[in-house]
């Protein structure tokens, strides 16, 4: 099933009271609201910042976030689908991850080499951006451990941020890391390395790489099934998905 949105679409997310599907229209500076089953529009598009690229949601706060090409993040109330506010971040925002317990949104700024931490309640960025590696692309947050994991696509590294002190440790991973997901139950972080065609498994206690798993060609997207512990890896150039069984 396919639906046409009339513009370049890079980011999608599911959220809201009725489990709506949100799709970022990069060329239309808006977010489409669709029924997740029929893919039909259920409301008028929401105007956000310029060139919205990626989307993220907060399930506990019923909010949608858009990372925009004008170095901003837009915040949308998914109960009302109303635009709430816009927050300035670094250049080239891409990855976003919500620390639900702290009410903080971590945003990777590719061109700035930083991470902005957005206080969602006040729609502000307290403190200075956190300096990480080269071209930070994706981020995953472990609220229980108090860490944010940032993969730096051009540096072959993962920056590990202590969310309390904002201190950063660096872990060497594979080439072209583009995806990251944390399994807090297993105590590991999975990093998809798009240029070395593998997934690194990092122990969260020691921050050491404990396994290197070959997958397909150009792994970029990665997702965890929290119920089973299985990990799904999207391989861009071999046109397939690898499944890492728990």
Q: What does the pLDDT read at residue 1?
A: 73
What residues form DSSP beta bridges with 139?
150
**Percentages (nearest 5) of helix, strand, coil residues in the chain:** 0, 55, 45
As a whole number of Å, the end-to-end CA separation of the chain is 31
Contact 12, 56 (CB under 8 A): no
Note down pLDDT in tens along the chain; length 246 residues: 777 777 888 899 998 878 899 999 999 999 999 998 899 999 999 999 999 999 999 989 999 999 999 999 999 999 999 999 999 999 999 999 999 999 999 999 999 999 999 999 999 999 999 999 999 999 999 999 999 999 999 989 999 999 999 999 999 999 999 999 999 999 999 999 999 999 999 999 999 999 999 999 999 999 999 999 999 999 999 999 999 998
Q: What does the pLDDT read at residue 17?
A: 72
| Separation CA 28–CA 19 (nearest Å) | 23
Q: What does the pLDDT read at residue 3?
A: 75
Q: What does the pLDDT read at residue 246?
A: 85
Q: Token match 């259920």: residue?
A: 42
| Separation CA 185–CA 228 (nearest Å) | 11
Q: What does the pLDDT read at residue 66?
A: 98
Whole-structure pTM value: 0.95
Buried b / exposed e across 149-187, counting CB within 10 Å, b at 16+? Answer: bbbbbebbbbbbbebeeeebeebebbebbbbbbbbbeee
């Amino acid at each position: 099933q396919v639906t046409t949105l009339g513009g370049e679409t890079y980011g999608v997310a599911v959220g809201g009271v009725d489990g709506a599907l949100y799709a970022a229209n990069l060329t239309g500076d808006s977010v489409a609201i669709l029924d997740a089953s029929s893919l039909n529009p259920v409301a008028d598009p929401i105007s956000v910042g310029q060139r919205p690229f990626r989307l993220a949601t907060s399930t506990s706060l019923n909010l949608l976030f858009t990372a925009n090409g004008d170095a901003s993040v837009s915040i949308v109330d998914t109960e009302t689908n109303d635009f709430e506010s816009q927050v300035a971040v670094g250049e080239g925002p891409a990855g976003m991850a919500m620390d639900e317990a702290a009410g903080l949104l971590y945003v990777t700024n590719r061109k700035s080499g930083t991470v902005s931490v957005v206080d969602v309640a006040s729609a502000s960025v307290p403190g200075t951006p956190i300096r990480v590696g080269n071209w930070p692309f994706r981020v995953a947050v472990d609220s229980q451990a108090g860490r944010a994991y940032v993969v730096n696509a051009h540096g072959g590294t993962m920056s590990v941020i202590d969310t309390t002190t904002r201190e950063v440790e660096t872990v060497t991973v594979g080439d072209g890391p583009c995806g990251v997901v944390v399994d807090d139950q297993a105590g590991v972080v999975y990093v998809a390395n798009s240029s070395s065609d593998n997934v690194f498994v990092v122990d969260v206690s020691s921050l050491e790489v404990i396994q290197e798993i070959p997958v397909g060609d150009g792994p970029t997207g990665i997702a965890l099934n929290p119920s089973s512990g299985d990990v799904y890896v999207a391989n861009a150039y071999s046109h397939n998905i690898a499944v890492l069984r728990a």
